Every structure is written in C-alpha cells, then in structure tokens.
Structure 1
Amino acid sequence: MSRVRIFTDSTSDLGAELLRQHEIGVVPLYVVFEDETYQDGVTMHAERLFQRVAETGKLPKTAAPSPADFEHAFRPVIEAGDDIVYIGLSSEVSSTYQNAKIAADAFPEGRITVIDSRSLSTGIGMLVLTAAEAAEQGKSAAEIQSIVEGMIPKIDVEFIIDTLEFLHKGGRCSSLQHFIGSLLKIRPVVKVIDGAMTLTDKVRGKREKVLAQLLDNALANKDDMNTSFMFVTHAKAAEEAHYVKRRLEELTGMSKVYVTETGCVISSHCGPQTVGIVYAKK
C-alpha cells in the first residue's frame, strides 16, 4: 500500500532529530560566496557562514533549488510507489515554490502536491511537522493538503534581531539607519506577514528587555494558542533560546516547545543572536 512522504526545503529549520524521526525529505537551497557554491545544511552550516561573513565582510547570495534538484529528490519516492506532499518557502521571497511546481509537473498528475507555506523558518516547520504527523496517521495527500492549507493563516512567526549589521549588508536598511540603530542599541522586531519578512517594531535596550518583549508579544495571544507544540528558533543564541523555551513552558503549560537553530539562508538575513517564537493560533 502506498503512503505519503513529506518533503520540505532547508529553510524550514527543523532539526536533524525531527527530520529523521518523521522521515521528512529535505531539498537544500544554495549559499554562494563569490564563485563558491554550497548546499544549505549539507556543505555549509550557519556557524561557518558567520565565520565567512566576519572574514570577508560580505554576505553570501542565496539561490533556490532548481527544478532538476527537486526532480532528483522526488523521483526515487515516486518510483517506489509513494506519493509526496512538499511544503516550502514562501513564494513571496523565493522561486523555490515555483521550481518545485515545475518538477512536480514532470510526474503523473496527482502524485506530488506542492504547497506554498506563505512563511519561513519554523513557520514552515510547523506545517511540515503537522503534515508528517497526519501522514503517519494514514491520511491521504488530499487530506494533508486540506489540513496544512487550513493552518497556514494561523501561523505566527516573530523574531528579535540583535544587530542591524546583516540587514545593512543585505541592503535592507540604510547606512544612516545602521549607524543610529547601532549607536542607540536598537533591535528590530520582524514578523512574517503575507508571506514576507516585515519590520513591525524596534526595541531599544539590553538583551533582557528585548527577550521580555518577544515573550510578551507571544503571551498576549496565550489564550488563542494551539497548544499542540511550538518552536523557539535561534541563530547562535542557544542559551537565550532555552531560557525562552522554559518561560513559555511555565507560562503556557505547553509540553512540546522545540528549540531549533536557523540554517544558512535564514541566518544570512537575520545574523547571529537572533531569537524567534513560532506558534499556531486556534
């Protein structure tokens, strides 16, 4: 009897243990430093990326997997008789989704379902993990698609970015904004809105104040949270991420709060010491 396999891309930022536990396939994006190309999470990891940025003073470029990359990943599963549900990076920020669609069209109709997460990082991860659990329960690809698409508008993704340096290098803030922000120790708050990263607030002060703001923003929706599970996602800020996890467990009563680390693509936009909270609303 055929089953449904769940696929995603490397920007979903699910840890290796969760990917292995639920047999989730991953198609990596690319990270490009001048003439050197690496696969996100395979031949380049966030720690090394931060080292390269420090050495060169430049951010890498990122690139979507090609349709051929997706076809190569999908073909063994389809030939084994299983169906695929792929959930990937928002179409607002990357051609990853479109390339997956092109690859899916190379296979018989209905064998591969491609879903635009309208999210990034573990906002995608929440959808992927939900899909994987549904597949393990024996649900069909159509049933999984319905569950995931119903959940997409309910995903809340918010990050506190520690430094404007990476946003500045990436052309997302001016030199003047970077200078003033650094001088005043201003840290931006970024949410995913309509499938894209959006600056929603700026917090001035020490890290403790910034983390308290992040927690307060999430806890304002405590009564509306889906209590199945949530994520605390970070870039080179493990100690603070685990602190946020403990506080969320204490204040929400949620038993499954996963801590994951951002991959190269998300890290290259946000920079080190970024911490985010991701959850679904009821």
Structure 2
Amino acid sequence: MPGVAVMTDSNCGFMQEDGEKYGISIIPMPIVIDGTTYYEGLDISQEQFYEKLSGGASVTSSQPSPGDVMDRWDRLLEKYDEIVYIPMSSGLSHSYECAAAFSQEYGDRVHVVDNHRISITQAQSVLDARILVQQGRNGTEIKSILEREALDASIYIAVDTLEYLQKGGRVTPAGAAVGTVLNIKPVLTIQGDKLDAYAKARGMKSAFKTMCRALKGELAGRFRGLQEAGCLCAGIAGTYMEPALLEGWKAEFEREFPGLDVMYMPLTLSIGCHIGPGGLGVGIYRKHCLNG
C-alpha cells in the first residue's frame, strides 16, 4: 500500500483534471448562486460564474460538507496509509477547523494542515507536499514542515471594480461611487490569515506597479535569505479577464522578476465572488526542491 496521499481543495487553483497530472486529490469548492449550489471545476466554468455574477445573481462562497470530505478520506485510505489534507487558510474559512475536528475520528491516519495560504501559495504547498512524500516523509513530518513554513509567503491583489467590495460591506456606497469616478483600484494583501487593505492606486497599471514594489521590498527584506538559497518562486493569478490582457500582465510580471520561476493560477471562484472580474493577484513564496 502506498504511503501518503496528498489532498487539497480547489481554492488552490488546481481543478479536477489537474489531480492525475500532479498526483493529488482535489475537493471542489461549493459556490451558492441564487440558492443553487455549484461545484468549482465540475458543473460551472469561470465564464458561466462571472456571467451570473455580472448579471446580478446572489453569489456566496461556501465550504465542502464534512460528508464529502470524509467520503474522500475513506476512499483514499483504501489505497494509502495516511492522508495529508491542505485546505485553504484557517483565517479565511472554517474549512480547516471543521476538517481538523473530524480528522480526530481517523487517529493518526489523517493530517490536516493549517497552512495559512490560498490560491498560488496554497498550490505551492500542495506541490511541496508531493515532493516531501517523494523524499520519504510521513504524514506527521509533512504537516509539521508545511505549518512551520506556512508564513513564508506574501500575496497582493488589485481589485478592478469596487462593486463587489461594496456588496460585501468593505466599501461604502458613497466610497464606491467616488472611487469609480476617480478610477481608484484598491490593493489588498494576504499575509497569512487575513485579507487586509494595503493601498489605493489610480488605474490597474498603477496598482500593478504598487504590488510589484511591495514584493521587491520583501525580496530585499524578509525573503532575501530564501531567494539567495534558491528556495523562492513567484506567482500571478487573475479573475476573469480578456485573454490578451491577462497574457500582457503575465509577461510584465515576468519582466519585473526575471530571477524567479513564475507560476500562473486563476484566482478561484471563492475569491472572485468577493472581488469580481478583472482582479489581479501577485505573490512570492517558499518552494521545496527534490534535493532539499
């Protein structure tokens, strides 16, 4: 029987079709639209989601049901000795808390990681877990390593429209109206557990430069040692936008950080329902190598 299975949720950006490619098990995140539950990557596409969101549908994010998660664990444990489950950050969802509680029924066979990450940084943790499995680490060791290194990551997100921040109560109607007229683009940051305001910029180009300056400051500071050791990479993610525009942002980001490997992931629907289409996220984070 193989040793350790790696499992995550689609908040990392991996969809069902990526599971076989990367050797991971992926739980699709539920999204509730006008009272109907859809599952990311299964029965609703990015295009369909943003069409409904832009059309004024009532959209909320949710979390996998305990039954779905435990059913997946049961199936995996028929083939594996242990499971390392990496849900989205405990500071952004109750997914970790619920999974950790139910994992007690499985003794030492299910290890739920409080990884404090989402999107591209969470995806890297999943890839790191696979590397650690290949290095012969057991579930307890992998959980410990990922939790110890969880905060070696930084994300900035530029929001193209204030409409959805207003709906979520993060911006007042008056503030949204003025911001729209002035072409204000909020820049948010995720440093572990919370989504916080970071800056405001006039236009997306200015917001992009603001995010890149922030990352470069961190490269010269708390991430300097990781970069010098070759243990750092970068990522860019976006909510629904024109393909040519997205490719332009990717190319510009790679020019800004020529010394780092850059990964792209779509920002997941759980984030998209809060910030809307046209959002852009960038980040830097620790990575593992097969020989280290």
Cα deviation code 1:142-181 (max 9, x no counterpart): 2212221122111111111111111112222110111111
Which of 165, 168, 173 is equivalent to 2:166?
168
| Contact 2:12–2:122 under 8 Å retained in 1 | yes
How far is the alpha carbon of 1:87 from its aligned partner? 1.0
Cα distance, 1:137–1:22 mapped onto 2, change above 3 Å: farther
How far is the alpha carbon of 1:31 from its aligned partner? 0.9
In the alignment, structure 1 segments of 5+ residues that lack a partner are none
- 2:48 paired with 1:48: yes
User: Which residue in 2 is equivalent to 1:92?
Assistant: 91
Cα deviation code 1:199-250 (max 9, x no counterpart): 111111x332222222222222334254443211111244444334434444
User: Which residue in 1 is equivalent to 2:233?
Assistant: 229
State the Cα RMSD in Å: 2.2
How far is the alpha carbon of 1:45 from its aligned partner? 2.6
Instruction: Report the more deviating stretch, 238-247 or 195-204.
Output: 238-247
Q: Secondary structure at the match of 1:116?
A: coil
**Residues 58-69 of structure 1 mapped to structure 2, 5 A cutoff:** 58-69=57-68
- 2:227 paired with 1:203: no
| Contact 2:156–2:187 under 8 Å retained in 1 | yes
| Contact 2:157–2:280 under 8 Å retained in 1 | yes
How far is the alpha carbon of 1:188 from its aligned partner? 0.6
User: Which residue in 1 is equivalent to 2:78?
Assistant: 79
| Contact 2:166–2:176 under 8 Å retained in 1 | yes
User: Which residue in 2 is equivalent to 1:6?
Assistant: 6
Instruction: Report the more deviating stretch, 1-10 or 14-23.
Output: 14-23
Partner Cα separation in structure 2 for residue 114 and residue 268 of structure 1: 26
| Contact 1:12–1:120 under 8 Å retained in 2 | yes
How far is the alpha carbon of 1:183 from its aligned partner? 1.0
| Contact 2:92–2:193 under 8 Å retained in 1 | yes
Partner Cα separation in structure 1 for residue 147 and residue 120 of structure 2: 16
| Contact 1:118–1:196 under 8 Å retained in 2 | no
Partner Cα separation in structure 1 for residue 214 and residue 102 of structure 2: 39
Structure 2 letter corresponding to 1:266? I
Instruction: Report the more deviating stretch, 4-13 or 38-47.
Output: 38-47
Which of 250, 257, 271 is equivalent to 2:262?
257
Partner Cα separation in structure 2 for residue 182 and residue 9 of structure 1: 34
- 2:247 paired with 1:242: yes
| Contact 2:11–2:29 under 8 Å retained in 1 | yes
Partner Cα separation in structure 2 for residue 67 and residue 182 of structure 1: 41
Partner Cα separation in structure 1 for residue 157 and residue 198 of structure 2: 10
Cα distance, 1:52–1:275 mapped onto 2, change above 3 Å: same
Q: Secondary structure at the match of 1:79?
A: coil
Cα distance, 1:26–1:60 mapped onto 2, change above 3 Å: same
Cα distance, 1:138–1:244 mapped onto 2, change above 3 Å: farther
**TM-score between both structures, scaled by the size of structure 1:** 0.90
Cα deviation code 1:20-42 (max 9, x no counterpart): 32211111221112231111221
User: Which residue in 2 is equivalent to 1:191?
Assistant: 189
**TM-score between both structures, scaled by the size of structure 2:** 0.87
Cα deviation code 1:113-135 (max 9, x no counterpart): 00122222222122112112222
User: Which residue in 1 is equivalent to 2:36?
Assistant: 36
In the alignment, structure 2 segments of 5+ residues that lack a partner are 288-292
| Contact 1:44–1:264 under 8 Å retained in 2 | no
User: Which residue in 1 is equivalent to 2:290?
Assistant: none
| Contact 1:9–1:89 under 8 Å retained in 2 | yes
Cα distance, 1:145–1:94 mapped onto 2, change above 3 Å: same
Q: Secondary structure at the match of 1:94?
A: coil
